[in-house]
């Protein structure tokens, strides 16, 4: 949701800051405009945000007002800052962490002059409080606790039934729901599946049958359009998606989306066995000069490469979304090999590849800040490291925006869903 309450803090100039639309979803663009400035005045647009982990983030761009004393973020160029050029959403995707600060809301402010630091010590010309949400009004959140399956189902407003999406996140964090919430806001019944050490279940028990049961629960839900399901995975979730779509006799999706995934890491048995295999090859991990771990070489070294997922068996449309600077998985090699395997099997026409230059591993919904490297705990050793995900900030932001639009269009096309209409806030 957005709120648009602009407050001028310097009455002498009375500048006004506007953020539109007033309310909307996280993947919607907004428009920022500053008026009532002197002509040709140097100003800085600044944003700050506190994450769920209580980290403080900021971004800023340097602008010059036009002859009318106005600055419009959607058409004027930033001359410097954390982003440059005409970037309507630069105040979000170029955010970077600032230690030692706290903020309860998202604030966008305009400052006199071109500033790069010390914002907390300066009085802004005007400030607008804004909020962005993953969940549209009327979306329902349903806890799934059935047949040992743990997850969260998000249902769009209305009576349904809706096309369904089984949403599989990757490794390395808490249970993630927000992508499913956003998908439900666009008309899909999306179930975020908890599959890494869910309550009352060990990794030894998390095997093909676990994902098959989850698929059946979603397919049989009264608010879900039966046999109109997709599977969407990120990272390890993509490896699971490819394995299930290739081999399962239960999981028969109408389409699949794999983000930053590889067929070189088949999930043949339980996740526990896969992690034990990776643990035994931990010596293949590479570390760069910044002490950041590069995982891709370990994946390439796994002996299961001789038993890579036979994607030639996939019988549904498959969208593969990768960045060519992915330092976690061999994205380019995987895409090329998958294309050859599907060509040989006669189903190359089912595969659509989106390969984004200079994009990294963590391709998320649009306007999310870029993380080139983060603190990370290896699931198979419990060791705390700094993982290198890859990507450069601006091209990675472009990849997230373009990929999300194409993922939604792909799902609408193959699940016979209507063109998405965002519920009004």
Catalytic site residues?
235, 326, 361
Helices (H), ranges, 128-255? 178-185, 208-219, 236-247
Cα 290 from Cα 75, distance rounded (Å): 38
Torsion 295-298-302-306 (CA) sign: positive
Contact 142, 177 (CB under 8 A): no
Output the six-digit token pair for 236.
């390890």
Neighbours of 160 (CB within 10 A): 14
Helix axes 208-219, 236-247, angle to 10 degrees: 80
Cα 296 from Cα 331, distance rounded (Å): 9
Cα 189 from Cα 295, distance rounded (Å): 33
Output the six-digit token pair for 324.
């060519």
Q: What is the DSSP string of 78-116?
A: B-SBSS-BS-TTHHHHT-EEETT---SSEEEEEEES--S
């Amino acid at each position: 949701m957005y709120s648009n309450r602009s407050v001028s803090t310097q009455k002498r100039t009375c500048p006004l800051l506007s953020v539109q639309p007033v309310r909307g979803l996280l993947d919607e663009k907004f428009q920022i405009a500053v008026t009532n400035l002197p002509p040709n005045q140097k100003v800085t647009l600044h944003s700050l945000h506190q994450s769920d982990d209580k980290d403080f983030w900021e971004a800023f761009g340097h602008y010059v007002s036009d002859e009318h004393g106005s600055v419009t973020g959607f058409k004027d160029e930033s001359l410097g800052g954390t982003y440059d050029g005409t970037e309507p959403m630069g105040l979000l995707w170029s955010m970077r962490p600032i230690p030692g600060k706290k903020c309860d809301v998202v604030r966008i402010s305009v400052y006199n002059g071109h500033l790069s630091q010390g914002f907390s010590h300066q009085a802004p010309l005007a400030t607008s409080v804004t909020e962005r949400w993953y969940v549209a009004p009327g979306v329902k959140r349903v806890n799934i606790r059935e047949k040992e399956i743990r997850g969260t189902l998000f249902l769009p407003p209305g009576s349904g039934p809706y096309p369904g999406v089984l949403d599989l996140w990757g490794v390395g964090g808490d249970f993630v729901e927000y992508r499913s919430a956003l998908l439900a806001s666009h008309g899909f019944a999306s179930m975020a599946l908890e599959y890494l050490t869910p309550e009352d279940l060990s990794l030894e028990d998390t095997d093909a049958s676990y994902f098959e049961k989850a698929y059946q629960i979603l397919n049989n839900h009264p608010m879900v359009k039966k046999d109109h399901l997709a599977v969407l995975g990120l990272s390890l979730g993509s490896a699971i998606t490819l394995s299930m779509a290739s081999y399962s006799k239960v999981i028969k999706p109408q389409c699949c989306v794999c983000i930053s995934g590889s067929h070189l890491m088949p999930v043949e048995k339980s996740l526990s066995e896969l992690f034990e295999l990776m643990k035994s090859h931990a010596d293949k991990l590479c570390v760069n000069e910044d002490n950041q771990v590069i995982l891709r070489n370990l994946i390439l070294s796994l002996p299961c490469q001789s038993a890579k997922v036979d994607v030639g068996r996939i019988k549904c449309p498959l969208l593969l979304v990768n960045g060519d600077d992915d330092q976690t998985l061999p994205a380019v090699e995987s895409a090329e090999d998958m294309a050859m395997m599907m060509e040989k099997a006669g189903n190359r026409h089912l595969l659509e590849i989106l390969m984004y230059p200079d994009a990294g591993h963590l391709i998320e919904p649009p306007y999310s800040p870029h993380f080139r490297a983060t603190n990370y705990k290896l699931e198979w050793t419990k060791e705390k490291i700094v993982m290198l995900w890859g990507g450069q900030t601006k091209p990675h932001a472009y990849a997230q925006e373009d990929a999300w639009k194409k993922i939604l269009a792909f799902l609408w096309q193959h699940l016979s869903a209507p063109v998405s209409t965002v519920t009004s806030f």
